[in-house]
Amino acid sequence: MVSHVGLTRRGAFRVSAVGATIAAAAISGSSMAPAQPLRRMTYVLVPPAWHGGWCWKKVKHLLQARGHNVCTPTLTGLGERSHLARPEIGLDIHVQDIVNVLTYEDLSGVVLVGHSSSGVVITGVAERAPERLAHMVYLDAFVPEDGQSIWDMIPADRRGAMEALVNTEGKGWLLPRFGPPPWERFVPEVWHVTDEADLRWMLARLGPTPFGHFKEPVRRTNPAAERVPRTYIRCTLYQHAGFDRYAEKARHLAGWRYRELASHHHPAVTNPRELADLLLEISS
């Protein structure tokens, strides 16, 4: 038995703490080796067209609760930055938006996540700042080749309706939504966001996207960018032939890993816990 006689209050506390640690180790059968500190990761989650950083709210809180650093920037002209929309905004500016976050926040070792159209954005970011990236995650996202734009990857039979929306509702430079059906129908019927609170939240925030986001091509010419490890996550409940092709490539390409998530196209909204767990597994 350890006596505390003659010890200062601080000394007694230290002795007690050591005794408690020994007892805990004996009970658990563990060694006296110190516990490994949490590896704190930095995630930058990039929203797709029509969305802002708001769409990652649930996942952001879950990752932060695990002790990780999370940035959810909004692209120029969208979300809380919709007042900055103008005709000349395109993919180049959206890529620079994210590069600037990495630079001015002095971020390194970043797990960069792009959802849907922002797969093209993160591809451009890797070209300009590969040294800041530890991993790239394409979440049900477009994966462009050198010189491709999002528009090049959209099926030709859908482009006419989208161009009509730009000309009739978007002043010739904004794409108000993905197709003719209003968001009130599209979001629950196609994206399967059916929870009433989630639906109200999304419908109040979805907004038009500068058409240049879709039309400007991205380059893939930096060898350092191609060395950044990549993972493709396919949301298996969402039917999309293009995403199926990217998923199949990821299964076989060197430098890629492939994961599946049993969700529709918006797991950040409908399956945030499963998505957060998968992001943690990928980056561990």
> Same domain for 200 and 115?
yes
21 pLDDT band (50/70/90 cuts)? very low
> For residue 13, what are the domain limits?
1-35
16 has pLDDT over 90: no
Number of H helices, E strands in the chain: 13, 8
Is pLDDT of 110 > 50?
A: yes
pLDDT tops 90 at residue 29 = no
Domain identity same for 113 and 147: yes
Task: Identify whether residues 2 and 55 lie together within a single domain.
Answer: no
Cβ count within 10 A of residue 195:
12
Query: Measuring CA to CA, which residue among 91, 136, 93, 120 is closest to residue 220?
Result: 120
Q: How confident is the model at residue 26 (pLDDT cuts 50, 70, 90)?
A: very low
Average pLDDT over residues 275-282: 97
For residue 154, the model assigns a pLDDT of 95
- Helix (H, G, I), strand (E, B), or coil: what is residue 79? helix
| Amino acid making up residue 146 | D
List, for residues 216-228, the tens digit of each pLDDT value: 999 999 999 999 9
Q: Is 54 in the same domain as 31?
A: no
pLDDT for 28: 37
Q: Which residues, at least 6 apart from 129, have a Cβ–Cβ distance to it below 8 Å? A: 99, 102, 103
Length of the chain: 284
User: For position 1, what pLDDT does the model report?
Assistant: 38
Q: Do 134 and 261 belong to one domain?
A: yes
Regarding whether 103 and 67 lie in a shared domain, the answer is yes
Q: Give the phi and the psi of residue 105 in degrees, each rounded to 5.
A: -90, -5
- Amino acid found at 251: R
Query: What's the domain count of the chain?
Result: 2
Report d(CA 125, CA 245) in Å as an integer.
23
Residue range 138-144: average pLDDT? 98
Q: State whether 2 and 114 are in the same domain.
A: no
Indicate whether 7 and 93 sit together in one domain. Answer: no
Pairwise CA distance, residues 139 & 133, whole Å: 17
Provide the CATH number for the domain around residue 103. Answer: 3.40.50.1820
The DSSP H or E segment spanning 226 is helix 223-226
Structure tokens at 68: 């990780």
Contact criterion met (CB below 8 Å) for 209 and 183: no
Contact 232, 246 (CB under 8 A): yes
DSSP string of 98-137, one letter each residue: HHHHHHHTT--SEEEEEETTHHHHHHHHHHH-GGGEEEEE
pLDDT tier at 111 (50, 70, 90 boundaries)? very high
* pLDDT band of 38, cuts 50, 70, 90: low
Residue 39 is predicted with a pLDDT of 83
Residue 112 confidence (pLDDT) above 90: yes
Residue 279 to residue 231: CA distance in whole angstroms:
10
In this structure, what token pair is assigned to residue 182? Answer: 């209003």
pTM, two decimal places: 0.86
- Does residue 180 have a pLDDT over 80? yes
129 and 227 share one domain? yes
Task: Verify that 22 and 62 share a domain, yes or no.
Answer: no
Does one domain contain both 2 and 115? no
Average pLDDT, the chain: 89
Using CA atoms, how far apart are residues 19 and 6, in angstroms rounded to an integer? 17
Report how far residue 214's alpha carbon sits from residue 93's, in angstroms, rounded to the nearest whole number.
12
pLDDT at 161 over 90: yes
Do 28 and 102 lie in one domain? The reply is no
Q: Which residues contact 150 (CB under 8 A, 6 or more apart)?
A: 49, 91, 117, 120, 142, 144, 213, 214, 215
Mean pLDDT of the 64-93 span:
98
Among candidate residues 39, 89, 96, the one with its CA nearest the CA of residue 69: 39
